[in-house]
Amino acid sequence: MSTVLLHALAHARTGDKGNRSSIGLVAFDPADWPLLVEQVTVERVAALFATRRPTRVARYLLPRLHALNFVIDDVLDGGVNSSLNLDTHGKSLSSLLLTLAIERNHSQETR
């Protein structure tokens, strides 16, 4: 077993609408998509964003695109017009998602 950052296995982009953040997560290698589905769970994403007090985290699977889409409600301190954050849109939150640790077994490492 070994641990890698999600950043090594997938890329991501954040969008925002009001106080809701959405993050598309895409596997570099389609063969890693099941690993993302297994480990980048609603619970782990909610925990990662816990200090922003999400009221709901939804996860949508897109197997044909080797992607997952996360919709995280009420985490932008009111959104682009009322947040005090430098990054009022929460654009940087895709990079926060990519800090998740992913466990791989030997066969997955050598792929």
For other proteins, the binding residues (CB under 8 A) are 7, 11-13, 15-18, 20, 22, 24, 26, 28, 50-53, 58, 60, 62, 64-67, 69, 71, 77, 79-87, 92-93, 96
In the bound state with other proteins, the residue whose beta carbon lies nearer, of 29 and 103, is 29
Handedness of CA 50, 52, 58, 62 (dihedral sign): negative
- Residue 58 φ/ψ, nearest 5 degrees: -115, 145
Instruction: Please say whether the dihedral angle defined by the alpha carbons of residues 36, 38, 42 and 44, taken in this order, is positive or negative.
Output: negative
Shortest CB 83 distance to other proteins, Å: 6
Q: How far is the CB of 84 from other proteins (least distance, A)?
A: 4
Q: Specify whether the CB–CB gap between 97 and 47 falls below 8 A.
A: no
For the bound state, the minimum distance from the C-beta of residue 107 to other proteins, rounded and expressed in Å, comes to 23
